[in-house]
Amino acid sequence: MKTRPLIISPSILASDFSKLGDEVIAADKGGADWIHIDVMDGHFVPNITFGAPVMQSIRKCTTKPFDVHLMISPADPYLAQFAAAGADLISVHAEAGPHLDRSLQAIKALGNKAGVAINPATPLSVIEHVIDRLDLILIMTVNPGFGGQTFIPAMLDKIRAAKALVGGRNIDIEVDGGVTAENAGAIYRAGANAMVAGSSIFKGNDYAANIKALRVAATSISA
Ligand code: DX5
Ligand code: ZN
């Protein structure tokens, strides 16, 4: 099976919002593959971040794909807004609405790539019957709502199971939450090829070094 390229997707949730545009530019120049956009509604998750207008305002700062993680319920009424504001890939939570298949069809109809995010307690089987609509599976390795939480090690088994479920399909497996240079190797070896990282990238003043450390840790063959 062909190895998929490693993708590092810095989460701007951990950036300095007072200079968001500059932070996006710094992540881009530092070697980000995608930019991860965490949208929270204070209802599906116990925190509020920002919506499509803020995302649109930083669209001009980078040409890198916007990897939009919608932690909102319902999601369907807002999909068109996020697509119009410059999303490239939109992930909805499997737990956020009753009609996941419909949400995925709507994302594709807007010309975006489609992803499903699943919370730590949600079984992988929720995506079994929609898998052929997916471009990405987003495995939450913390309970969504906040940056800076600790990676839940039991999720490594879920990553392995996702990899087996995906088989030869053209689907990225992304992890989100608590990703650091210490666990990136285990995550990559379990089968994830896309990594969201907030606090381990937006720290100090050398984001390029932080991104590189994740890349090296993920792909180094030592344990
Ligand atoms: C959590 C968000 C994550 C978060 C990751 O609900 O979906 O994307 O920003 O932050 P870190 O890398 O700090 O765990
Ligand atoms: Zn996220």
pTM: 0.98
Q: Is 198 in the pocket of ligand 1 (CB under 6 A)?
A: yes
- Asked if 62 and 30 touch (Cβ cutoff 8 Å), the reply is no
In the chain, how many domains are there? 1
Regarding the beta carbon of 148 and ligand 1, being less than 6 Å apart is answered yes
Is residue 140 one of the residues assigned to a domain?
A: yes
Ligand nearest to the CA of 91: 2
C-alpha torsion angle, residues 57, 58, 63, 68 (rounded to 10): -100
Indicate whether 141 belongs to any domain: yes
Closest by Cα among 147, 138, 145, 211 to 13: 147
Q: Which residues contact 101 (CB under 8 A, 6 or more apart)?
A: 129, 130, 133
CATH number, domain at 107? 3.20.20.70
Judge whether 197 lies within some domain. Answer: yes
Contact 118, 94 (CB under 8 A): yes
For 51, phi then psi, to 5°, come to -120, -160
Summary mean pLDDT of the chain: 97
Residue 2 lies in a domain: no
Domain, as residue range, for 99: 7-219
Q: Which two tokens stand for residue 64?
A: 């890198």
Residue pLDDT, tens place only, 82-119: 999 999 999 999 999 999 999 999 999 999 999 999 99
Cα-based distances in Å from 28 to 13, 72, 152, 176: 15, 26, 28, 19
Per-residue pLDDT tens digits for 1-44: 568 999 999 999 999 999 999 999 999 999 999 999 999 999 99
Mutate-to-test residue for ligand 1 from 50, 71, 199, 200, highest number of ligand atoms within 8 A of CB: 199
Tell me how far the alpha carbon of residue 137 is from its chain's centroid: 9
193 belongs to a structural domain: yes
Return the axis-axis angle of helices 20-29 and 52-59, rounded to nearest 10°: 50
Proportion of the chain above pLDDT 70, given as a percent: 98
Q: Which two tokens mark 8?
A: 């590092």
Residues 118 and 112 sit within 8 Å (Cβ to Cβ): no
CA of 154 to the centre of ligand 1 (A): 17
Residue 145 Cβ inside 6 Å of ligand 1? The answer reads yes
Is pLDDT at 223 greater than 60 in this prediction?
A: no
Q: What is the pLDDT of residue 3?
A: 82
Best CA proximity match to 171, nearest among 101, 115, 125: 115
Distance 1 CA to ligand 1 centre (A): 30
Within a domain: residue 1? no
